[in-house]
A and B are shown apart, each in its own frame.
Chain A
Amino acid sequence: MSISAELPPRPVPRPSLFAGLGAFGRALGATSAGRFIAIALLIAVLAFLSVYPLSMLLYGSLHSTPPGVAGEFNLDGYADVFTWQSFVTLANTVGISLAKTIPSLMLAILLAWILARTDTPMRGTLEVLVTLPFFIPPILTAMAWGMLGNPQVGLINQVYQWITGSTAPLINVYSYGGVVWHMMQYSVPFLFLLIVDAFRAMDPGLEEAARMCGASRWRTFRTVTLQLMMPALTGAAILSFVRGIENFESPLFFGSPAGIRVITTDIYDSINQRSPPQYQYATAISFVILVLLLLVVLAQWRMLKGRSFTTVTGKGYSPAVMKLGKWRWFTFALCMLFFVVTVVLPVGQLLIGSFFQFFGFYQWDMLTLDHYRAVFSSGEFWRGFRNTMLLGLVGATLTMLLGGIVAYVSVRTRWRGRMLIDGMAWLPWMMPGIVLGVGFLWGFALLPHAIPIYGTLWALLLAYISLGTPLSVRVMTSAYAQLSYDLEECSRVHGANWLQTMWRIMIALAWPAFAVGWVLLFFGIMRELSASVLLYSVGSEVLSVVLMKLWANGNAEQVSVIGMIMMVMVLVIRWIQLRLIKTRIGAL
């Protein structure tokens, strides 16, 4: 073109970003070769995140030496698993988990009923307060309760002894009771969150019908409400039981000092506390517990098959709210009591602990800001803080993206291989963090030296993504499931290409779910301890690991400071999340 040479240079009209990406999207979505590549990529990523550590567990359990050291294959690890000692550990694990699940479930039902079905004052606020413990990293409350319930210097025992003049302590958290109690603080709000919607969404006619038939309130609750909720309750209880078996913080902090061993702490001890580390035993018992959990989950599927009642009808009736009269202040007090015991007490302990010179000695002349100064000038704290934030932001984003893609493929397409993808993404669901940590430990160590993941932040990032994927897939699946196919098809029919459709319709409509899932994952990463503690190395410590090291050194004061900082972060994020949900609901 001769004219253009004389004109001032102008930007060459380029295909817009959309058109360019659209062509790529079309290639991926529409052509069979592109589809094949997309599926293969996804399978490769998921295989590395879930199948690989799992198979490494099996490999490691048969291998006689630590990862990376030449050795032979034998069954010694499994021989160690089938001993009386291990049996006691297993019985402890199951017993503790049962002991916390049953009272937690009853308390959660009570709270759900109070907050969803009665006229207790300020139910909205109470619901936020009662579920707050779920969002506090367990390591914080564990340490706080370690201070509160310490038999010698714990605040509760000091107050008790001061009031009664007794010399015996009231409570000792370093016991079975302590382990169960600490677990309950998490499982009650966890169960509550799982079952409260079942209480809320029920067609009020089902209960009113019972009342009209002459049944009293209590009988209605027993024979109709509770029965209808049975599937949801059993499902939640089994999940809570599995979580109890996977729990690491509670037995680590309260069980190990008292000689109470459960499987997760056993795995941890045999790698970190014994010399030489017993990798083979740790891996073997990891594999065994994995198989047991798989059996539990399969049993749950069988039990709940076809036992889910749809009790929600189209009619927009809010469920009948029971008028409690004067008793509503009692239920209000009950919810507040739960909040005080599970949040105010431990957080208050951290607050107090962070301002006094020495833990356990609370006198006015011992108030100090030294610990804050020490923490803020500590390189280790800042490194942990940076690592946690970085891993949280990147990890949550990547996990949600992966989950969004997996969910899309498995819910919205008819691609071959989508069942496999869904299954692989679900695998880490029943893997305790510590077990996945062991699997990755082997996996990263056996990678060729050209891929230096072992001992870096990448190791933690990959483990977090793996642990979070089942959640992100679930969140995004339910979001997509609520969007009718018509929306997508309509957009296509009206001339939008695949990527535009994804961008404008699917992502625009699914982003609130994305955001909610993201925040949950961020919380998850911030509190993660069991996998981190196996996979970190110098330079890649996260906050929870920093906390644990300080605790192990007996520095309860600086633990309190970091705990307070983390608490503020939790509150801020939780507040943002609640705002987000509120505006989202308002927009719908």
Chain B
Amino acid sequence: MSNVTLEKVSRSFGDFVAVDSVDLRVEEGEFVTLLGPSGCGKTTTLRMVAGLEQNTGGRISIGNEVVSDAASKFVVPSERRRLGMVFQSYAIWPHMTVFENVAYPLRVRRRPNAEVQDLVMRALRLVEMERFAERPAPALSGGQQQRVAIARALVFEPKVLLLDEPLSNLDAKLRLQMGDEFRSIQKRLGMTSLYVTHDQSEAMALSDRVVVMDRGRIQQIGAPEEIYRRPVNRTVAAFFGTPNLLDASVESCRRIAGGRIQLDVAGQGWRGPCDAAAELTPGQSVTVMVRPEDARIAGPDAVRGEHELQWTGRIAHTIFRGPTRSVFVDTEGGRINVDAPAFGNYAIGDNVNVLVPQSAAWAVIGHKEAA
């Protein structure tokens, strides 16, 4: 197992900068996910680590060994980087059997036959595909091809495993199952993994750390919980789930116990305290993020508690979602989406209050326009 280090890595196509000065260090055995909308440069970043794409700036090292340095034009070709890779299309070779597909990396390395036999079967057992060894590859379902692709990437004990949206071609149910299985294999083997996806729930479920990218730049690096709770800017905040983003301006700012920063903010028809990542000066514009699952609906006469924020409005419409019901409340400060109990009594036009614990409100710099 090895670590991966990217120092100021860039990739430009003509004038277009696909990846802009990315710094990232993946520790040994860590599972790091590159997350972002399509075109954000995450796949390009992964392919530069793989050596399938040339970085036009910066340096990439794997296991403390430089594999690509744009300044000195030094490049180790893909085949000598000893990386395992799982492709979005799986890239299972249709002219070979499952066994031959998985054996390929070993054959290339001229391992003796007995060893090949042994290692391939072990890899296939790991992904529970040993029964299919002699099947021709085209006779596999999507999920099975996926498993073969993982076995092939693992069989020669690569330094790092790279995965390019490996679950995106599977249906929703299988995606969850394969994701969980893969995570457990990864943990068992302690495999350093770099994973690319545009699916935020996948990223949160699988990763030790998530790297959120947008327009070629890293927006935030952190544990899934941290990124979900404490996004550093509007882009990251908007990317996870469907949060309410409410414009406000700072009234005062203070540091409280534990180094946290608390703001008093005021928006259209509401005011109150909330947490923030950085110290801000009064008068600055902020966006306050409130997640639907943190808000609750109260009657028109409800009074907010000491550590709560309050909005008053009327119910615009509701959507039944099974476990919860989305209730949309029109307030002076904008429309707020609340995850309410599925079988509560909400009628359109009801006057209600929306209450949110102050600790669940999180402010980031900037307004909607600025984002």
Contact = CB atoms under 8 A, between A and B. Distances in A.
Contacts of A213: 79, 104-105, 108, 152, 156
B94 A208 contact: no
Determine which residue in A208, A210, A213, A313 has the highest number of CB atoms from chain B within 10 A of its CB, and name it: A213
A309 B138 contact: yes
B91 A215 contact: no
A211 B91 CA distance: 12
Contacts of A224: 93
B95 interface: yes
B52 A215 contact: no
A273 interface: no
Interface string A302-331: 000000011101010000100000000000
Interface stretch (B56-64, B80-88, B210-218, B334-342): B80-88
B79 A205 contact: no
Contacts of B80: 214
Contact of B91 (A205, A227, A320): A205
B131 interface: no
Interface in B35-57: 50-52
B109 interface: yes
A216 B91 contact: no
A207 B156 CA distance: 18
A209 B87 contact: yes
Contacts of A230: 95
B40 to A, nearest CB: 17
B157 to A, nearest CB: 12
Determine which residue in B82, B85, B95, B105 has the highest number of CB atoms from chain A within 10 A of its CB, and name it: B95
Nearest to A209: B91
A206 interface: yes
Nearest to A220: B79
Nearest to A213: B105
Interface majority SS on A: helix, strand, loop or mixed? helix
Contacts of B152: 209, 213
A215 B104 contact: yes
B78 A212 contact: yes
Contacts of A212: 50, 52, 78-79, 83-85, 153, 162
Determine which residue in A214, A227, A230 has the highest number of CB atoms from chain B within 10 A of its CB, and name it: A214
A205 B85 CA distance: 10
B88 A315 contact: yes
A308 B101 CA distance: 18
A476 B184 CA distance: 52
A214 B156 CA distance: 10
A537 B209 CA distance: 84
B89 interface: yes
A311 B84 CA distance: 21
Contacts of B78: 208, 211-212
A219 interface: yes
Contacts of B87: 205, 208-209
Contacts of A215: 79, 104, 108
A230 B93 CA distance: 13
Interface in B68-116: 77-80, 82-85, 87-91, 93-95, 104-105, 108-109
B95 A228 contact: yes
A208 B79 contact: no
Contacts of B50: 208, 212
Given A215-B108, A219-B108, A309-B95, A209 B88 contact: no
A319 to B, nearest CB: 12
Contact of A214 (B88, B93, B108): B108
Nearest to B138: A309
B258 to A, nearest CB: 46
Interface string B119-163: 000000000000000000010000000000100110010000010
A228 B93 contact: yes
A209 B87 CA distance: 8
A203 interface: yes
Residues of A in contact with B, size category:
20 to 34
A203 B94 contact: no
A313 B109 contact: no
Contacts of B52: 208, 211-212, 320
A203 B89 CA distance: 8
Interface string B241-266: 00000000000000000000000000
Contacts of B82: 214
Given A213-B156, A215-B79, A203 B93 contact: no
A214 B105 CA distance: 6
A85 to B, nearest CB: 45
A228 to B, nearest CB: 6
A214 B89 contact: no
A213 B109 CA distance: 9
A538 B105 CA distance: 70
A214 B79 contact: yes
Contacts of A309: 94-95, 138
Contacts of B94: 228, 309-311
Determine which residue in A211, A212, A214 has the highest number of CB atoms from chain B within 10 A of its CB, and name it: A212
Contacts of B156: 213-214
Interface string B330-349: 00000000000000000000
A216 B95 contact: no
Given A228-B95, A309-B138, A208 B105 contact: no
Contact of A208 (B85, B104, B109, B149): B85
Nearest to B96: A227
B41 to A, nearest CB: 16
A205 B109 contact: no
A320 B53 CA distance: 10
Nearest to B153: A212
Interface in A184-225: 203, 205-206, 208-216, 219, 223-224
Contacts of A320: 52
Contact of A216 (B79, B89, B93): B79
Interface in B234-289: none
Determine which residue in B80, B89, B109 has the highest number of CB atoms from chain A within 10 A of its CB, and name it: B89
Interface string A366-388: 00000000000000000000000
Determine which residue in A208, A216, A219 has the highest number of CB atoms from chain B within 10 A of its CB, and name it: A208
Contacts of A206: 91, 93
A310 B137 CA distance: 12
Nearest to B53: A320
A360 B93 CA distance: 57
A320 B50 CA distance: 14
Contacts of A210: 93, 104
A393 B261 CA distance: 82
A505 B94 CA distance: 37
Interface in A315-356: 315, 320
A211 B153 CA distance: 12
Contacts of A315: 88-89
Nearest to B164: A205
A293 to B, nearest CB: 29
Contact of B95 (A205, A208, A227, A313): A227
30 contacts: A205-B90, A208-B50, A208-B85, A208-B87, A209-B85, A209-B91, A209-B149, A209-B152, A210-B93, A211-B51, A211-B77, A212-B50, A212-B78, A212-B79, A212-B85, A212-B153, A212-B162, A213-B79, A213-B152, A213-B156, A214-B82, A214-B109, A223-B104, A227-B93, A227-B95, A230-B95, A309-B94, A309-B95, A313-B89, A315-B89
Instruction: Give 5 closest A-B pairs by Cβ, nearest first.
Output: A205-B91, A213-B105, A209-B91, A205-B87, A212-B85
Given A213-B108, A214-B156, A228-B93, 13 more contacts: A205-B91, A208-B50, A209-B91, A209-B93, A210-B93, A211-B77, A211-B79, A212-B79, A212-B84, A213-B105, A213-B156, A215-B104, A219-B108
